Structure 1
């Protein structure tokens, strides 16, 4: 997992924390070397469940998944957020990330994708007074 320096990992974690400040939504980033299944979205669903992202109260988790050596990535929103964002939201978010990834700006790509997801989460799932951070903000591997 040498794609990101410790400082870059902290930038991504800070982007997650900033995005979650004003929402009850949860954002996670998962990075691994290889995607063990042919379809990257199938793997994203597996990881989503392994990280218990399907257990949030409002079903408003968003997973950013990257298999570095396979050069595959996915963005997956749980059913609560998926049914309220614009139909092309995940695809346009991936395109913003893809442009940065192609230019070798992986940290910026993640941060921009996370920021976009945070904007949607704030709009549809504003932070409540009794809200708690249900999932870790750390990058999982």
Structure 2
């Protein structure tokens, strides 16, 4: 995966997570792996559970899932988010991320999508400096090389 996602891109993505979370109590994670043999939404749900993202206080976790070599992408939110956002909430984020991916720019695509998610989530889950804590790691999780 390091031949596709560079250290600089990883830093860019993590900085985007930190910046986005400054606007919202939402928690954003990114998971990258090489292959996905099932529907990317189904795999994203599996990863979401494996990362314990459903354990946030407000159930407002967001996962950006990417299978690089399979060219699959999904973005999903937890129950707290899905209960309050409109059905097409993720569509413009997906469109922007995929446009950058088509140009081979995974770092910029993910960073832009993450920042957009932070802006959108601010409406429903504004950041409160008095009560908000960082409930999930801001790093990128990487899958193993086996198929999923």
For Structure 1 versus Structure 2, the TM-score category normalised by the shorter chain is over 0.9
Unaligned runs of at least 5 residues, structure 1? none
**What is the RMSD of the two structures over their aligned residues, measured on CA atoms?**
1.1
How high is the TM-score relative to the length of structure 1? Answer: 0.94
Aligned to 1:11: 12
Q: Using the alignment, how far apart are the partners of 2:33 and 2:13 within structure 1?
A: 16
Contact 2:20 2:118 in 1 (8 A): yes
Aligned residues: 140
Aligned to 1:28: 29
Q: Using the alignment, how far apart are the partners of 1:111 and 1:131 within structure 2?
A: 22
How high is the TM-score relative to the length of structure 2? Answer: 0.90
Unaligned runs of at least 5 residues, structure 2? 143-148
Contact 1:33 1:69 in 2 (8 A): yes
Q: Deviations over 1:31-50 (max 9, x none)?
A: 01111x42111100000011
Aligned to 2:42: 42
Instruction: After TM superposition, list the pairs within 5 Å mapping 1:71-86 onto structure 2.
Output: 71-86=71-86
